[in-house]
Amino acid sequence: MRRGSFHIAVVALLVGVLAQPGGASAYSWPFKPFDQQHPIRGFFGDPRTVYENGILAGAFEGPGFFSFHQGIDISAPDGTPIYPSEDGTAHYLGAATLNVVTDHNVVFQYFHIVTVVGEGQQVFARKTILGYVQPPFGHVHISEIDGTNAVNPLQPGHLAPYHDYTKPVIQDIVLRNQTGEVQTPLGLCGRIEVDVDAHDTPPVAVPGKFQGLPVAPALVRWTVTKLGGTAVVPWRTAADFRSTLPPNTHFWDIYAKGTYQNAPRFGREQYGSMPGRFLFQLAGSYDTTALANGVYIVTVQVGDGHGHTAVDTQRFSVLNARNGVCPGSLPAPSTDPPLDQEPTVSP
């Protein structure tokens, strides 16, 4: 990582932007002790990837199922009693999925649960046992649905108590050409893709196979400045999971090729206990011909929505060809409108 006084100034100016206050009433943890923070192994917005092809069969170029994690995964031993976070009415969504509908248009969904309550039963926070953690999952997934939108349970004013003690990490800033090959930052020409490899760490250590595995940061932003000069690309937000999520149809607008989840699946192979790789797409097809030849700095910052940030920079030089032709340049972005439906997954 490259650090210095420039980073300190950036963090001081933008810490208020990266932290986001909440306004909703706080609710309880689903496990005892209710007033104690529990380990979370899956964050809101984490990539969920199931590649149909194996690693050696062109997995990253092939089909699959890709989505944002629309809740959080709270670790607990199999068989642990699960309680509602708020009072409400229980409704079955599936064999191992339960909805608790509150009286203020918020629905809590519990996945991986062996249910013991009845359909339509009134349930009470901290009192009613909804069911037990279903083996062999070792966690309960909770989604908070406000109206029709999944919202982040970890934002201030929601799940409590919750305190984030960890700082996100930026592994690398990656420049690619149209073939996906990593580019040297020297003499860039034409269109390029700019990605950042970044992650966060759960504030409470996760036990078992998910111990030490990463989670997604809540906010990713970037800017480009000319060396010793002014900004040529103003601050832009690449990902923002602090309160809600984009549709799954925009998964590959947020994440970049090469992304995969923790314990990833490629074809028939599940790579248990393997850490995921979270590549965020800053610019899918940035045209360097818009810049004068010279040296520039791309600055990336990531945050967790609770005041912790990380900043990294990458210098690059632009050397556009006089004839306007750049070998390996990315094509111009498509002008076709985005799809309105979920992508079709091949059988």
Predicted confidence (pLDDT) per residue in 86-142, tens digit = 999 999 999 999 999 999 989 999 999 999 999 999 999 999 999 999 999 999 999
Structure confidence at residue 329 (pLDDT): 60
**Residue 341 predicted with pLDDT over 60:** no
Predicted confidence (pLDDT) per residue in 237-277, tens digit = 999 999 999 999 999 999 999 999 999 999 999 999 999 99
- Half-sphere CA count of 108, side-chain side, radius 13 A: 29
Q: How many Å apart are CA 224 and CA 232, to the nearest integer?
A: 6
Structure confidence at residue 20 (pLDDT): 42
Residue 134 lies in a domain: yes
27-31, 295-299, 342-346: which has the minimum mean pLDDT? 342-346
Same domain, 65 and 139: yes
Residue 85 lies in a domain: yes
Predicted confidence (pLDDT) per residue in 152-209, tens digit = 999 999 999 999 999 999 999 999 987 788 899 999 988 999 999 999 999 999 999 9
> Which residue range is the domain that position 126 belongs to?
40-151
Domain boundary among 151, 175, 200: 151
Q: How many Å apart are CA 171 and CA 279, to the nearest integer?
A: 10
Q: How many Å apart are CA 37 and CA 34, to the nearest integer?
A: 8
- CATH code where residue 89 lies: 2.70.70.10
Residue 156 lies in a domain: no
Q: How many Å apart are CA 98 and CA 84, to the nearest integer?
A: 10
Structure confidence at residue 331 (pLDDT): 62
Same domain, 188 and 313: yes
Same domain, 207 and 106: no
Same domain, 178 and 255: yes
pTM over the 0.85 mark: yes
Same domain, 97 and 174: no
Residue 141 lies in a domain: yes
Residue 97 lies in a domain: yes
- CATH code where residue 174 lies: 2.70.50
Domain count, the chain: 2
Same domain, 314 and 171: yes
- How would residue 322 be classed by pLDDT, with cut points 50, 70 and 90? confident
Same domain, 229 and 314: yes
Same domain, 109 and 232: no
Same domain, 206 and 289: yes
Domain boundary among 99, 118, 151: 151
pLDDT (mean) for 54-67: 95
Same domain, 137 and 201: no
Same domain, 174 and 216: yes
Q: Which of 198, 170, 173, 169 is nearest to 296 (CA)?
A: 173
Residue 342 lies in a domain: no
Q: Give residues with Cβ within 8 angstroms of 50, minimum separation 6.
A: 64, 65, 66, 265
Residue 158 lies in a domain: no
Strands 265-266 and 47-51 come out as parallel
- How would residue 345 be classed by pLDDT, with cut points 50, 70 and 90? very low
The one-letter amino acid at 144: E
Residue 314 lies in a domain: yes
Structure confidence at residue 25 (pLDDT): 76
Same domain, 182 and 306: yes
Query: How far from 9 is each of 15, 286, 296, CA to CA, in Å?
Result: 10, 26, 18
